[in-house]
Amino acid sequence: MTEFGADRTGRADSTAAVAKVLEAARGETGPKRLVFPKGTYQFYPDQAVPQELYLSNTAGADPAVRFKRFALYVEGIDDLTIDGQGSRFQLHGQLGLFAVIGSSNVTLTNFEFDQSAPRVIDLTIIETGPGYRIVSVPAGSPYVVEGGQVSFLTEPSPYDGQSYWRYSSDQLSNGQQVFDPVAGLASRRPAWLFEGVVSVTDLGERRLRIDYGSEATPDGLGLVYSLREVTRDTAAGFIWQSKDVAVTDLKARYLHGFGILGQFSENIVVAGNEFATDRTSGRIAAAFADFVQMSGVKGTVTITGNTFDGAHDDAINIHGTYLPITKIDGRSLHLRYAHHETAGFPQFAVGDELEIANRASLRAVGQATVTAVTGPTGRDSHELTTMSVVLDRDVPAEVLADPEAFAVENITYTSSVHIAGNTFRNIPTRGVLVSTRRPAVIEDNVFDGLDMSAILITADASGWYESGPVRDLTIRRNTFRRPAPGHASILINPENAVLDGPVHENIRIEDNTFDGGLLVEAKSVRNLAISNNQVAGGTFRFTACSEITLEN
């Protein structure tokens, strides 16, 4: 990379140089290995080419963020390895790390990356007293105090001197989270750090005094209040319409916008990575939202040997998408994206298999092959939230009678899953969500102190619209430490309003170690076997389940 102008000293922006190398690689056949000699490389959005892209579980059809920028933009390149050789990549502004689009056999490996000014602001409470708090601000979070109020922003662009974003404390307060660095616990309980503020004073040395209208001494001493504005503008890593992509041996200090997102791709590996910030920076949050999300991926998803520490949402979420039916014309189904965070990209291609499910019961009523598709392309603003598919057979009579009571799922793009040997901590929500009908194994992981269920198996066609049914799942040899009060360590909870039969089937929970609490809570499962687990007390809860085995 340095031979093409990338600067390993970290003084100059390497974005344009790296883009030129990747453009040249697109025209080369055979294996390609792009090497960053060990050093520090700067990446700014100013020199990254904007790409119109639509990403699952982010900002949906919001036109304000339709264009994304990435430091490493790989499109139409096969047989490629990007090897950082232990380098550090420093990202600036609203810039994703990588995109892999329309490519196969791509590996990103062996580097550390961070964001100079993360859009999550971690404020540590270092003093409290009658009517005030004093907070410490990390060096990577520039701020200005004006008129007794504080705003946080980025460092200025080296090209035009302007900040890439700026948010007042009021704007940041809609995504509050609290971390206890001593206990190693994160939660989404209200922080109210900037509620009822009279004034903010800059005390110097990156300390802010926050004065309140009340003379009561506020709580929170020693805690980290982690604040963000909630727009998921992009993904840190985006894999779309690609095959055999691996992300390995990275030190991911902060994931901007969203996590690593796999979308309508095949065979993805995330292995041996450290998703955790550098605590000496004063920061806690390592991700703006999820760490890893797989939306409509086929083949195999393999997530092994990673550390997941300090997200602002789930660590891993693997699912498809239910699309409600709005109208039927003969064999044509008219569909819509129903959740505001997902829009703009195609859900079906000709030849894909489709399943129709009742939205209330989540029970399947028929399958078909797609013979024609119209709708969004994923690259322009055409028909972002609606699409139509033509089936190879007649629509079932019960669906014709009440189309809006049903939704469809692309069952071709569902994956086998292997999640093993990972550590999950400082997560305010769940460690693993899996909703796939293909074989899945979750084994040999450690879940420590999560604020909700460590493992959640769900499916719903009325809220998040994340599909679908589980048909073969094994959860074994995991350790569940410090469970969240009131939450099951393993929660199987399809959001079916009508309980007229099982949604999930064939789930085995065996040889795990539980610290106690509510161990397993399950709803609408057939053939659930719980055996040979080491349990320090605890309870089980079952609703509308059948064929339960509970032993040893």
Both tokens of 65, joined, read 């963020």
Alpha-carbon distance 548 to 530, whole Å? 8
- 399: helix, coil or strand? helix
Both tokens of 111, joined, read 């580097």
- Is residue 384 a contact partner of residue 55, using CB atoms and an 8 Å limit? no
- 414: helix, coil or strand? coil
The architecture in CATH of the region 322-410 reads Beta Barrel (2.40)
- Is residue 315 a contact partner of residue 172, using CB atoms and an 8 Å limit? no
Q: Which residues pair with 92 in a beta bridge?
A: none
pLDDT value at residue 174:
67
Low-confidence ranges of the chain (pLDDT < 70): 174-175, 191
Enumerate helices (H) and strands (E) in the chain, giving the number of each.
Answer: 3, 51
Indicate the pairing of strand 539-543 with strand 406-410.
Answer: unpaired
Q: What Cα–Cα distance (Å) separates residue 121 from each residue in 66, 91, 153, 166? A: 25, 16, 10, 12
- Within 10 angstroms of residue 456's Cβ, the number of other Cβ atoms is 21
- Within 10 angstroms of residue 547's Cβ, the number of other Cβ atoms is 12
pLDDT value at residue 291:
98
pLDDT value at residue 190:
73
Q: What is the pLDDT of residues 100-149, one digit of tens each?
A: 999 999 999 999 999 999 999 999 999 999 999 999 999 999 999 999 99
pLDDT value at residue 438:
98
Alpha-carbon distance 221 to 285, whole Å? 18
pLDDT value at residue 189:
78
Both tokens of 4, joined, read 């093409």
pLDDT value at residue 191:
65
